[in-house]
Amino acid sequence: MSDSAAGAPIATAGAGGAGAGVRGRPLLGGVTDARVVAADVLADIRGGELLDPVFDRRARILDPRDRRWTQELLWGMLRRRGWLDAILADRVRGGLARLDPDLGDLLRLGVYQLLYMGSVPAYAAIAQTVELAKRRHGMGASKLANAVLRRVDRDRDDLRVIIPADPTDSLAIRHSHPRWVVARWVERWGVTETERLLLANNEEASVFARPIGVTRDALAAALSTAGVEVEPAPLVDDGLRLGGLAALTELGAYRQGQFFVQDPAATLVTRYADLPAGGVVADLCAAPGGKALELAREARIVLAGDRSAARLRRVAANAERLGVTNLFPVVGDGREPVVRDVDAVLLDVPCTGTGTFRRHPDARWRLRVSDLAVMGALQRELLRGGSAAVRAGGLLIYSTCSLEPEENEMQVERFLADHPDWTLEPPAAPLPAGTVVGGMLHVLPHEHGADGAFAARLRRGS
């Protein structure tokens, strides 16, 4: 059975450089740097690293054009990994499980290029993957890769994959998500709504700009002049969605500190917080710093806390670029905060990140059922520590980028049951329709066109 939702090839413009060679290097006798970087990034992910930072590190050797091509390859392959595995399962004797995991990833990269990257000629996708397999695993692996990829290429117009009758199994395979995650969502939302979410998760994540020191219209004009496509962002009236990007950090508006990058869901968390102007606010899990920067627009002082001094240095560098002078980094553990009696605490806790699978496609394959319990325990500790830093009558904003009730409503309900002097207090400020349910913020990727997010606004008794 063919799959129209997940299997239709898409053409990608402007990436031919890496398909035909890097900086003019011929294909014969070598593997392009872009493909070597892609393979190395996947090896690092298998070793426990996260996609975004390891890509930034590995891709430094690439020029901007090849960096964009490699990013499309990696993010796209990881979004469709489950479907690619289903294609390969019937074309690798004994199945993918018998192969070295690195060779399995090379085959996924090759099949993704064949089916989904229209700028890459079939001969290049096959020859480059075969040569890469030979370099990393020897002649036997290269022969296997050649046979498998040529078969996929022959079958490309009639790729047949056996899809189970069970709706949950079918969704998991067709839309490339772990079955246990899909099963949770089907139980909560039903098959139709879950499929909408899975489809949204497999779209390319947009880049959103938050203007600072300039109006949205002025920033839009500056970016348009630089060749960047701009349109209004969802959920927030002063944000911009960016398209046709070159190197972001090379834009004049970026270097001049006129914007920073933030998904509208993250911006909406700070809108939901509805903090009084002129207060002292502590963001106890601040890195990478976007929410702290938003809070600094109205607060007198923002204390940006994080356990990692290195991550805080990046927050401080971004604040300096943007000319934000009331944000102060504080190295420390949010479970034992070094600040006390502040007007408000933002607790944007570590979580499973199930609301950001579109932006971080590696997360869906890294996640385990046990992570819900592990994260839940950490979140309870952070709630205990963060609440102790709030003055009497002050506010605690608890937020996640998770869609899971164990990390969201259930955490808030448990905290309120254990702390009778705290109450849930919805914001007075109006928010987009459908985003506040039961007094708490709920942003869903398939409903709102942004990352998933949750927040609860808690008031300490006076």
Please report which confidence band the pLDDT of residue 12 belongs to, taking 50, 70 and 90 as the band edges: very low
- List 39, 324, 401, 450, catalytic entry: 401
Both tokens of 398, joined, read: 């608890």
Q: If we measure between CA atoms, which residue out of 63, 67, 135, 142 comes closest to residue 99? A: 142
pLDDT, tens digit (0-9, with 9 covering 90-100), for 396-414: 999 999 999 999 999 999 9
Q: Is the pLDDT of residue 247 over 80?
A: no
Cβ–Cβ under 8 Å, residues 357 and 406: no
What residues have CB less than 8 Å from 308, skipping those under 6 apart? 287, 331
Q: Is the pLDDT of residue 25 over 50?
A: no
* Average confidence score pLDDT of the chain: 92
Strand 240-243 to strand 436-437: parallel, antiparallel, or no bridges (unpaired)?
Answer: unpaired
- Quote the pLDDT of residue 10: 28
Cβ–Cβ under 8 Å, residues 457 and 436: no
The arithmetic mean of pLDDT across residues 218-238, rounded, is 95
pLDDT, tens digit (0-9, with 9 covering 90-100), for 364-403: 999 999 999 999 999 999 999 999 999 999 999 999 999 9
Distance CA 178, CA 204 (A): 19
Phi, psi of 330 (to 5 degrees): -135, 115
Strand segments (E) across 359-421: 390-400
For the chain, helix (H) and strand (E) counts, in that order, are 21, 13
Q: Is the pLDDT of residue 19 over 60?
A: no
Q: Is the pLDDT of residue 274 over 70?
A: yes
CA angle 235, 450, 379 (to 5 degrees): 105
- Quote the pLDDT of residue 133: 97
pLDDT, tens digit (0-9, with 9 covering 90-100), for 172-225: 999 999 999 999 999 999 999 999 999 999 999 999 999 999 999 999 999 999
Please report which confidence band the pLDDT of residue 162 belongs to, taking 50, 70 and 90 as the band edges: confident
- Quote the pLDDT of residue 246: 63
Look up the pTM and report it: 0.90
H-assigned helices in 138-166: 139-155
Please report which confidence band the pLDDT of residue 250 belongs to, taking 50, 70 and 90 as the band edges: confident
Please report which confidence band the pLDDT of residue 356 belongs to, taking 50, 70 and 90 as the band edges: very high
Is 401 in the active site?
Answer: yes
Please report which confidence band the pLDDT of residue 244 belongs to, taking 50, 70 and 90 as the band edges: confident
